[in-house]
Chain A
Amino acid sequence: MNAYLLELAQALISLAVAPLLVGFIGWLKARLQGRRGAPPWQPYFVLRKLFSKEVIVSEHASWLFRFAPYVVFGSGVAVTLLIPLFCVPLPFDAMGDLLMVVYLMLLGTFFLALAGLDPGTAFGGMGASREMTVAAIAEPTIALAIFSLALRAGSTNLGQIVVNTLADPTVALNAGHLLAFVALFVVTLAETGRIPIDNPSTHLELTMIHEAMILEHSGRHLALIEWASGLKLLIFFSLLANLFVPWGVATTLSPVYLLIALPIWIGKLGLLAVVVAVLETRLAKLRLFRVPELLSMSFVLALLAVISSFLLR
């Protein structure tokens, strides 16, 4: 019973932390660029504002357009229930493994793209087609990268991977581990729409990807999508932090361990956020045609990770 409550608490905490993570990156980036920047908790105000606004839907849009934001948000919440956040193993681990996680995330992306196409605007269609181009290479890379860890651990269950890595720390020092980490990191940047693949802070730019799809949404629909994209960032950061560097994740349900594990998890997220903010400040956005090249590099790295895990077991 306690385990189920904890699972629920994990999901609620992630929902609460996700906007702060987005805000923190934005604030740090502004600081690094010599601007004062909006405070890290700004996304909460944005969400509150959006939730209290009315929803305007184009008269050409179908039910799909209204339905999509809930699917996007719902799939995000479902994934947070399935991945290791600060405590393993949990009962919901049995409900879905890494393939389930990958496909749930793809489901969200798919509906977002459909909703982009639905009203028939130029920008929406453009963004949807670009998002699919990125997702087509990025999704298999996620599956492959995590799969190379699963081969080592002997289980596709994400919680089990963390437990096994904690039991045998030398696993973390092999070729597959490193290559998979780099691959998943590049995909994280692509999937969450960060520089160098996409620029999250512009709305009207011909090269936008994610923002182009959600231009037509407003009010609580937009709020849900924004919240879900923050959640996606948190999900990817948690995967990077917990699957590759699992130390600090609680393996028992005792309150003492949980109280230590929670700040460690937040700390890891913060560290990754700092890395992303510095990268976003240092790098320029890639030309759109270079994006598939970068993604195919990460795909090759993930492939090599699987090969080395498989052939050198």
Chain B
Amino acid sequence: MDETLFAPLTTLGASLVLLFGVVLLWRRSLNAYIQAFKWQSVILSGVFFLVGYFGHDPELYGVGVALLGLKVFFIPHLLGRLRKRVGADHEITPYVNIATSLLIGGMLVLLAYVLMRPVVTVSTLPTRGALPLALGLVFIGLFVLITRKKAITQVVGFLVMENGIALLAVLGTYGIPLIIEMGVFLDLLMGILVMQVFIYQIQDTFESIDVDRLTHLKH
């Protein structure tokens, strides 16, 4: 393929990844959260393959395949099972309502553009145009993490933030070495498993996974 296509294609991929982040802010059903995360990860692994191809770094293919297996199949499956067992369906009352969330999400991406401006100006990477989008996704993930009440949506927020960081890494440095990437994935997997146990415990204790209830631990 033509080298000149590299920059537009990565920007396109990054904006699709961000698009799923924004969709996350709009949706209410937990299933939609999980699906949005799943499709976001599909495109993210596509970006890994793209950078691997144009950056001539075959290791990135390995990372892409691992990402596909972990974030597209395993974690969504795990979350889906968790959702079924807990029986929670909707994020009914987030701390910040949906319309405001969307506007704040837009502002956060704007902030990312402003913060990244010096980097984008001095950088000579062909992928520099997509860097602010990746940082914006990190912010949006963090925002979902702190404004949603259900434990599962918070986990998805955490995962989206992680996706943003992975995107930032692959665009900014053409991927960290495979061994570190594998370590990160393993940490992530452990984190998810621990959170899963936590959620079961919260559900057992409070018969709900609203983290609001955690404020009164003593009965």
Contacts and interface: CB of A to CB of B under 8 A. Distances in A.
Q: Contact residue range for chain A?
A: 20 to 34
Interface string B174-213: 0000000000000000000000000000000000000000
Interface string A294-313: 10110111011001100110
16 contacts: A173-B8, A173-B12, A174-B12, A175-B12, A175-B14, A175-B18, A178-B16, A293-B26, A293-B102, A297-B26, A300-B22, A300-B102, A301-B22, A304-B22, A307-B110, A308-B15
B30 interface: no
Contacts of A304: 18, 22, 106, 109-110
Contacts of A296: 99, 102-103
Contacts of B16: 178
Interface in A184-241: none
Nearest to B26: A297
Interface string A55-79: 0000000000000000000000000
A310 to B, nearest CB: 9
A292 interface: yes
A307 B113 CA distance: 8
- Of B11, B15, B98, B103, chain A has the most CB atoms within 10 Å of the CB of B15
A174 B129 contact: yes
Contacts of A294: 26
B105 A300 contact: yes
B145 interface: no
B167 to A, nearest CB: 13
Contacts of B130: 175
A230 B42 CA distance: 38
In the A-B complex, list the 8 residue pairs whose CB atoms are closest, starting with the nearest: A173-B8, A175-B15, A300-B106, A293-B98, A297-B26, A296-B99, A296-B102, A175-B11
Given A178-B15, A307-B110, A312-B129, A173 B102 contact: no
Contacts of A300: 22, 102-103, 105-106
A17 interface: no
B19 interface: yes
Given A173-B5, A300-B106, A304-B22, 14 more contacts: A173-B8, A173-B9, A174-B8, A174-B11, A174-B129, A175-B129, A178-B12, A297-B23, A300-B103, A303-B106, A304-B18, A307-B109, A308-B15, A311-B132
